Amino acid sequence: MLAVCVCWMYCFIAFNQALATTEPPTSSSPTEKVNDYSQIESKFALRTAEVPDDDTCYLLPGQAETVSNCNFNHTSKTFVVIHGWTLTGMYESWVPKLVDALYKREPDSNVVVVDWLSRAQQHYPVSADYTQLVGRDVATFIDWMEEELNYPVDNMHLLGYSLGAHAAGIAGSLTKKKVNRITGLDPAGPNFEYADAPSRLSPDDANFVDVLHTYTRGSPDRSIGIQKPVGHIDIYPNGGSFQPGCNLGEALLLIAEKGLGDVDQLVKCSHERSIHLFIDSLLYDEKQSMTYRCNSKEAFEKGLCLSCRKNRCNTLGYKVNKVRSKRSTKMYLKTRAQMPYKVFHYQVKVHLFGKKNWTLTNQPFLVSLYGTEGESENIAITLPEVSTNTTYSFLVYTEVDVGDLLMLKVTWEKDSFFSWSNWWNTYAFEIRKIRVKSGESQKKIVLCSKDAAHSYLQRGKGPALFVKCFEPIHSKNHD
């Protein structure tokens, strides 16, 4: 496992060395596109709902009969799936899963898988260069469909993963008419982070470009997924750098349970999460994850970005609201570690009163939410700082749909390390009201201390309880 992991990471990241030693592929400029179909190396397999895991019928540009032979449906939309770099030279296990999910959601659609495996199996930088040629192949295919077969480009949705996202972008920039949509699934970072828009995925490659960034860990030139926004809407789940359930410990646990079959997938867990988030949006129509526009991941962590006004929130994945602003929009959300990924986001705002002037850092709290539909207990929160007579805002999220919030419980836990000041002091704050805003319902509620005018929140002691206030509250009042 470790060996595979290290090797994979090495192969992917060590593109600099490889660049120095490997000849780049000889290629004519991608802009001089010719209608010589014999130059096309990529293969276009129209998969079926019955056999989502195998290429059984190929659409051959220039040969119109292949389209009817493969039972291509001219009145339905077409999804074009483009894979990324591969160590093994084989399709990865996500391909049939995505194909299957697309057919489950759109049974009449055409799902075309682009096979560029031989070019994708080279040293990373060589394969990265090949995305230009693959993009040109795909563009030629799309133009042929449009010109020779009158298939509307407006029905085309390209989905590209990793290097495939950039191939989709190149394709989109070369077609005679713009394709309807490109979804970039964690577009590759190395060789593309600093590339010009024409040689990578960018917003002008389709009428609408949405991008999921799920593995952008590390410095920009080393990050496996591209860090900068490259679409109309760029979503950074869980901050974008790394995904829950993907650390090595968790991966090893999964291997212990499920065996070594999916090692490949585990190694690329965060990278591939982009695909599974999209699959999730296809399969769990009733559990659509919401995303929220935010300037930074830090502001999102404070719960400051849960607004839905002026298109500030959106749904993740297939049913995205196609909002196109001039500048690309960064969106954030939290997710579960498994499908269905949806969670419910809350902003909690609280003012900590006190007689004594205290400032403490990295304090652990437990928050429990009780609502009309259910409850979610002991959600762990760490506040970077708590200080007397200061207002704090933070994000709380849970996979449980609690409905309308009725009651909230906070416990201030002892932090783990011992200090003399901890020994002598009983840290406590007084809380009068807690303001909560739900991202999913957009409802705001003010909770008051359950028994008295205020509750004491004492470190290491029992919880403070807050219930929906009875009196009308002046919403601008800050206490």
Ligand X SMILES: *[C@@H]1O[C@H](CO)[C@@H](O)[C@H](O)[C@H]1NC(C)=O
219 belongs to the catalytic site: no
Binder to ligand X among 88, 357, 419, 475 (CB under 6 A)?
357
Residues in the interface with ligand X (CB under 6 A) total 12
Query: Which part of the chain contacts ligand X (CB under 6 A), choosing from 309-317, 348-356, 410-418, 466-474?
Result: 348-356
Binder to ligand X among 319, 322, 355, 414 (CB under 6 A)?
355
Q: Which of 88, 357 has the CB closer to ligand X?
A: 357
User: Are 387 and 354 in contact, with CB atoms under 8 Å apart?
Assistant: no
Q: Is 389 an interacting residue with respect to ligand X (CB under 6 A)? A: yes
Q: Is 108 an interacting residue with respect to ligand X (CB under 6 A)? A: yes
Q: Is 421 an interacting residue with respect to ligand X (CB under 6 A)? A: no
Pairing of strands 156-161, 464-468: unpaired
CB of 62 to ligand X, least distance (A): 24
Of 83, 166, 271, 276, catalytic: 271
Q: Which of 31, 68 has the CB closer to ligand X?
A: 68
For 403-437, the DSSP string reads: -SEEEEEEEEPPPSS--HHHHH---EEEE-EEEEE
Tokens of 225: 């997924």
Query: Which part of the chain contacts ligand X (CB under 6 A), choosing from 125-133, 207-215, 351-359, 424-432?
Result: 351-359
Distances (CA, A) of 277 to 212, 338, 402, 427: 9, 9, 23, 42
Distances (CA, A) of 228 to 192, 194, 348: 10, 9, 30
**Binding residues among 226-285 for ligand X as defined by CB under 6 A:** none
Q: Which of 48, 388 has the CB closer to ligand X?
A: 388
Distance CA 444, CA 475 (A): 10
CB of 47 to ligand X, least distance (A): 15
CB of 391 to ligand X, least distance (A): 12
User: Are 164 and 192 in contact, with CB atoms under 8 Å apart?
Assistant: no
Distance CA 196, CA 187 (A): 14
Closest to 43 in 3D by CA, of 67, 65, 63, 61: 61
Residue 200 annotated as part of some ligand binding site: yes
Of 42, 127, 162, 449, catalytic: 162
Distance CA 308, CA 443 (A): 11
Of 143, 186, 234, 264, catalytic: 186
Binder to ligand X among 35, 63, 68, 76 (CB under 6 A)?
76
CB of 145 to ligand X, least distance (A): 16
345 belongs to the catalytic site: no
Q: Which of 218, 354 has the CB closer to ligand X?
A: 354
Q: Which of 108, 285 has the CB closer to ligand X?
A: 108
Tokens of 69: 């032979």
CB of 106 to ligand X, least distance (A): 9
Residue 129 annotated as part of some ligand binding site: no
CB of 150 to ligand X, least distance (A): 15
Distance CA 430, CA 434 (A): 11
CB of 294 to ligand X, least distance (A): 29
Closest to 273 in 3D by CA, of 219, 208, 224: 224
186 belongs to the catalytic site: yes
User: Are 287 and 317 in contact, with CB atoms under 8 Å apart?
Assistant: no
- Cβ-based neighbours of 432, under 8 Å, separated by 6 or more: 351, 353, 448, 449, 453, 454, 479
**Binding residues among 301-340 for ligand X as defined by CB under 6 A:** none
Q: Is 361 an interacting residue with respect to ligand X (CB under 6 A)? A: no
Q: Is 66 an interacting residue with respect to ligand X (CB under 6 A)? A: no
Pairing of strands 444-449, 464-468: antiparallel
Q: Is 69 an interacting residue with respect to ligand X (CB under 6 A)? A: no
Q: Is 354 an interacting residue with respect to ligand X (CB under 6 A)? A: yes
Residue 3: Cβ within 10 Å count: 7
Q: Is 152 an interacting residue with respect to ligand X (CB under 6 A)? A: no
Tokens of 70: 């493969």
Which residues carry out catalysis? 162, 186, 271
Binding site as annotated, residues for Ca(2+): 200, 205
Positions touching ligand X (CB under 6 A) are 73, 75-76, 108, 353-357, 359, 388-389
